[in-house]
Structure 1
Amino acid sequence: MFQYMDRVESILNVVKKEEAESMNQVIELLTTANLEKQSIFIFGASHAGILMEEMYYRAGGMMTINPIFGKELMLDRSPITFTSQMERLEGYGVALAKTVDFKENDVLILHSVSGRNPIIIDMALEARKKGVKIVALTNVTYSKSVTSRHSSGKCLYEVADIVIDNHGDIGDATCDIQGIEQKVGPTSTVIGSMILNSIMVETCQKLVESGMTYPPIFYSANLDGGDKLNQELYEQYKDSIHYQF
């Protein structure tokens, strides 16, 4: 019954050991971005976009995380296979990136498990043209086992400034089922969420240690006074917040 939990725990132990340095680099990057009122963006396509939603407008989360939504990549799209077609359509990521007000030294977190599809490479390359720092959350072993679908021939880990490896299985699913070859139980969402939330927690700690009395953390709207506190924080950080509040 606990095969999946055991496997996730095993992967997390590897992440703690192997990715601490990269995670600390991202923590420093996000701390600086918040202190200097630079903008932080996050993007992922289809299921990779679940982490984008996890980081966005969430009690206990960071206000200054700005999602980049592509409507043709969301999981409510029908037929759902259309999202896969759009991930593979070179040029769409460029067009989507051009709708974002990227500035030099902003930060863009990109999540893609395989890191091979044009959408994520386009987004990274276009943002880099404007001097944006690229953080890749991906699976390096997976990427090295497949060919890039982008005309550059590169995968996400090859166009990022900082790479965090989620250390999942090739193909993402991780649990063996007796009687069939196909594994089940993808790990990228839960591992990725643990990685990003860990980074956000430590970034907030760094901000407080830097002298920030009220870091940009969402209060729960279901707590008395939560809406008022969130509005006050928004006024302080609105230059770094690009979504409608």
Structure 2
Amino acid sequence: MLLAYTEKVRVLLTDMEQEETAIHQAAQLAAEAIAKGGILHCFGAGHSHMIGEELFFRAGGLVPVRPVWIDELLPQHGALRSMEAERKNGWEAIFTEQLDLRPEDVMIVVSTTGRNPAPLAAVRAAKAAGVPVIGITSVKASAETKPRGDAGMRLYEAADVVIDTHVPPGDAVLQDERLDVRFAPVSTVAATTAGHAVAAETVRLLLDWGEEAPVLLSSNIDGADEWNERLIRRWETRIPELRRGGHT
């Protein structure tokens, strides 16, 4: 099944090349934020939380990225619990209270369907603080759903910049006549690609503007600790997760 899966991923990533303009627009927001001393918050519930984890403290990635981790929304603290929590109303006040959102920041919200209350609450909390929102979502998968609870609208309708992952409804891309459901999901591959593409374009823009591009070195490269420590000291006040835990 390896070749079947990689072919589906190859087609998906080719489709995502249509998002070059959106990637540039998102990177423009991110680069402007970093140049002003702001940070990039990244929120996703369920498996989407992994995108923030992937962008955070990543060799070759941007240092000023703060993952939004709230235990109740993380599957490692109970998969069914996190699924139910994402569908609950009332998250906006929690995001507002727990996140240090400032107008110079950017919020990245990741959700394949973008229909549940939690990701939309993150959008509203950010906008209330004057923070622009980048949505990473599947427009096709989302368009086939209705907003749940107090979501009000779907992520692709609410974000300032939308990066379409082109993930099919249901996420899975392979099938077998002996099984009634599809299998082999692709949303994490697509969303991670989108996130790293935004980060890469952000680096390019910062360099074009004559700004420092705060990129982390692999800790397994000699001399990396000194390089990274300088950047961590610069951003650790805004991103406490760099040295200790954050959120709840």
TM-score by length of 2: 0.92
User: 1:34 maps to which residue?
Assistant: 34
What letter matches 2:184 in structure 1? G
The count of corresponding residues between Structure 1 and Structure 2 is 242
Displacement after TM superposition at 1:46 (Å): 1.1
Could you tell me how far 1:194 is from its partner in structure 2? 1.1
Give yes or no for the alignment of 1:13 onto 2:11. Answer: no
1:243 aligns with 2:209: no
The structural deviation recorded for 1:15 is 0.8
1:139 maps to: 138
Which structure 2 residue ranges, 5 or more long, are not aligned?
Answer: 244-248
Displacement of 1:91 after TM fit?
A: 0.7
TM alignment of 1:1-245, pairs within 5 A: 1=1, 2-16=3-17, 18-78=18-78, 80-212=79-211, 214-238=212-236, 241-245=239-243
Q: Which amino acid aligns with 2:118?
A: I
1:156: Cα distance to partner? 1.1
Q: 1:218 to 1:182 in 2, by over 3 A?
A: same
Select between 81-90 and 192-201 the one with higher mean Cα deviation: 192-201
Q: SS in structure 1 opposite 2:150? A: coil
Shift of 1:174: 1.0
> SS of the counterpart of 2:181?
coil
Distance in 2, Cα, partners of 1:239 & 1:210:
25
Q: How much does 1:105 deviate?
A: 3.8
Q: Secondary structure at the match of 1:42?
A: strand
Q: Matched residues, percent identical?
A: 29
Deviation at 1:82, TM superposition (A): 0.6
Question: Which amino acid is 2:7 matched to?
Answer: D
1:152 to partner: Cα distance: 5.0
Residue 101 (structure 1) shift: 0.9
Aligned-partner Cα distance in 2 for 1:106–1:34: 8
SS of the residue aligned with 2:28? helix
Letter of the 2:210 counterpart: G
Q: What letter is aligned with 2:8?
A: R
Partner amino acid, structure 2, of 1:126: A
Provide the C-alpha distance between the structure 1 equivalents of 2:183 and 2:92, rounded to a whole number of angstroms: 30
SS class of match (1:243): helix
1:139–1:94 CA distance, 2 compared to 1 (3 A) = farther
The answer to which of 214-223 and 39-48 deviates more is: 214-223
In the aligned structure 1, how far is the partner of 2:74 from the partner of 2:192? 18
Residue 147 of structure 2 aligns to a residue whose secondary structure is coil
The CA distance in 2 between the partners of 1:180 and 1:199, in whole Å, is 37
More helix by share: 2
Whether contact under 8 Å (1:221, 1:227) holds in the other structure is yes
Matched residue type, 1:155: R
One-letter identity of the residue aligned with 1:5: T
Q: Distance in 2 between matches of 1:98 and 1:151?
A: 19
**After TM superposition, what 4+ stretches of structure 1 lie above 6 angstroms from structure 2?**
none
TM-score by length of 1: 0.93
Partner Cα separation in structure 2 for residue 162 and residue 10 of structure 1? 23
